[in-house]
Amino acid sequence: MKTIVVKYGGAAMEDLPLCVEVAGEIVKLSKGNRVVVVHGGGKEVTAFLNRLGVESKFIDGLRYTDEETLQVAEMFYSGTINKKIASLIQAHGAKAVGISGRDGKLARIKRVPNLGFVGEICSISTELIETLLGASYIPVISPISEEDNGQPVNVNGDEMARAVAESLKADLLVYLSDVDGLLISGKVIPKLLASEIKELVSGPEVTGGMIPKLNSALSALENGVGKVVFLNGTKPERLGQVLSSKELIGTAISLS
C-alpha cells in the first residue's frame, strides 16, 4: 500500500465534466492505496474578486491577501471548492472528508512579511489525516490555515501539498498542472534527477509558476518523499497511469 498526495489545481478544476473525470481517477488510485488530495482554486478566487471590483495583486507568485481577499479565499477554498471535490469523489463510491489547514491544528504556520494575511508552513500535524486514512476516507485539504491565535491566513496550495507529502513520507507526490510536464524548448522532459533542479531553475529555460513547483519537488525529495510527478490535469487518464507499468506521459523526478 502506497501513500499518494495529489495536488489538484489549474485548468483541471474549471470544467465540471473534467472535474468528474479527475475525481474518478482519484478514486481508482485509492483502491489499495492511501490517497490525500490538496487543492488550489486561485482562478476562481480571482474571478470573484474581479466581480467585486477588487484587483488581485501577486508578489513573487504569491497572492497579496488583505482582509477582503482573505474572506473570499476562505469562502472558495474551504467552502465551495473543497466540498465540491469531496462530493465528486463520493459520487464515485469512495468516502471523502473536506478539511483545511485550520482543522485539528493540521498546519503550524508563520506569517510571510509584506504579503498581508499569507502564511508559510512550519510543520504539519498528521494526526487528523492519519485518522481519516485509517477509517478509509480520502482527506481533501484546503490550504487555508491559521496562526496560533486563530487568525486565518492564506497558504500556497503547492506548498501545502509538499508539506503534507513530507510529513506523511509519501511514496508519491503528484502535481496536476495545465501542461504535460516540465517543458524545455517545447518538449516534455520525461525524467529528471533532483540534482538537476537547481541548475534548471537558475537558467533561462524554466520560468513562471514552474520554478516554485520544482523547488517544492526538490524539498519533498530531500525530506523523504519517494517520487514527484508533474502531470497534465486536463488529461485525467494520466493520473491513473502513475502506478502502472505504462510509460508515463509527464515528468517524473527522483533522487536517483
- Which CATH number characterizes residue 79's domain? 3.40.1160.10
* Residue in 87, 44, 76 with CA at minimum distance from that of residue 144: 76
**pLDDT at residue 139, as a whole number:** 98
Cα–Cα distance measured from residue 157 to residue 147, given in angstroms and rounded to the nearest whole number: 17
Residue among 103, 166, 89 nearest 131 (CA): 103
Q: Which residue, among 48, 43, 159, has the nearest Cα to 101 in the 3D structure?
A: 159
Beta-ladder partners of 227: 172
- Give the pLDDT of residue 59: 81
Residue 164: helix, strand or coil by DSSP? helix
Boundaries of domain holding 46: 3-254
Q: Which residue has the cell 500500500?
A: 1
Mind listing the pLDDT tens digit for each residue in 100-122? 999 999 999 999 999 999 999 99
Give the pLDDT of residue 245: 61
Q: How many domains does the chain have?
A: 1
* Phi, psi angles (nearest 5°) of residue 47: -60, -40
Is 226:171 a contact under the CB 8 Å cutoff? Answer: yes
pLDDT in tens, the chain (256 residues): 999 999 998 777 888 899 999 999 999 999 999 999 999 887 888 888 889 888 888 887 788 999 999 999 999 999 999 999 999 999 999 999 999 999 999 999 999 999 999 999 999 999 999 999 999 999 999 999 999 999 999 999 999 999 999 999 999 999 998 888 888 877 888 888 988 888 888 878 777 677 778 888 999 999 999 999 999 988 988 888 888 767 778 899 998 8
